[in-house]
């Protein structure tokens, strides 16, 4: 069965590896990124999200959307791209996915979603769909003492949105499997400068311990994304799958299974 998939953040890192993996599996891929993509759009702005959605609508049928685009930067761009850029694109494309015989949606979250630097106000503003409030909360989080992480907050909001949305009539009721993956430390342009510096690498792995094989490569995440986006995934939905070499288990232990 021929399939068509959208991959955001397609020009580099996990997004690029996912494009290559899906293409190798015979999937037609529509890449979305700021540049060097089939659809060039800024998912950090409402206009860019609308333009990307409109461009993709011209490419129907659509079977899968894999949202890999993400940033870690100062200011509000982090929350605009990592949360609103993902959720608005998926909501805009959901009617197209629902027309597929095997629709799938996957987002790239992060191990950072469980980090204690998450700002509750920023998370709640995201989940309320209030971008101006989220932008204001982002500024407040970064000015706090100690600072709260806009990146970790945006990723926690994203996984909570996935968990909240996946079992609803709009998603599961339409046959759309919706999941998230949460990578640990992966060698991408976002993290490479830390991995290349001995002190920064040690500090990073102190926060994100990875007892199984240490820092990973984009291809390690892409293989799971490709399966979650495939027709083979029939029953997995609403899940946050950690691709982190055991970091989440090492940090939280049995916490998630205690009654």
Name the residues annotated as catalytic: 151
Collapsing DSSP states into helix, strand and coil, what is residue 107? Answer: strand
Of 5, 131, 123, the residue nearest 68 (C-alpha): 5
Residue 167 backbone dihedrals phi, psi, to 5 degrees: -85, 5
User: Which neighbouring-strand residues pair with 243?
Assistant: 183
Of 34, 35, 38, the residue nearest 59 (C-alpha): 38
**Burial class (CB within 10 angstroms; exposed 0-12, middle 13-18, buried 19+) of 34:** middle
DSSP string, 167-219: TSTTTGGGT-EEEEEEE-SB-STTTHHHHTSHHHHHHHHHHS--TTTSSB-HH
């Amino acid at each position: 069965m021929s399939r068509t998939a959208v991959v955001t953040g397609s020009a580099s890192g996990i997004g690029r590896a996912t494009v290559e993996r899906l293409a190798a599996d015979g999937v037609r891929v529509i890449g979305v990124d700021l540049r060097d993509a089939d659809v060039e759009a800024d998912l950090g702005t409402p206009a860019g999200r609308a333009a990307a959605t409109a461009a993709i609508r011209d490419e129907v049928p659509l079977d899968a959307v894999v949202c890999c685009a993400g940033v870690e930067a100062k200011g509000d761009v982090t929350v605009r791209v990592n949360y609103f850029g993902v959720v608005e694109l998926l909501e805009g494309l959901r009617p197209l996915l629902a027309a597929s015989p095997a629709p799938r949606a996957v987002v790239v979250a992060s191990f950072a979603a469980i980090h204690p630097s998450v700002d509750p106000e920023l998370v709640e503003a995201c989940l309320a769909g209030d971008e101006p409030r989220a932008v204001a909360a982002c500024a407040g989080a970064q000015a706090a003492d100690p600072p709260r992480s806009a990146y970790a907050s945006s990723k926690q909001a994203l996984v909570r949105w996935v968990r909240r949305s996946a079992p609803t009539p709009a998603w599961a009721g339409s046959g759309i499997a919706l999941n998230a993956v949460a990578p640990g430390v992966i060698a991408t342009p976002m993290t490479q400068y830390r991995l290349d510096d001995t002190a920064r690498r040690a500090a990073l792995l102190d926060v994100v311990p990875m007892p199984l094989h240490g820092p990973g490569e984009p291809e390690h995440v892409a293989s799971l994304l490709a399966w979650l986006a495939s027709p083979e995934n029939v029953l997995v939905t609403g899940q946050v799958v950690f691709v982190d070499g055991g970091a989440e288990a090492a940090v939280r232990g049995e916490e998630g299974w205690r009654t």
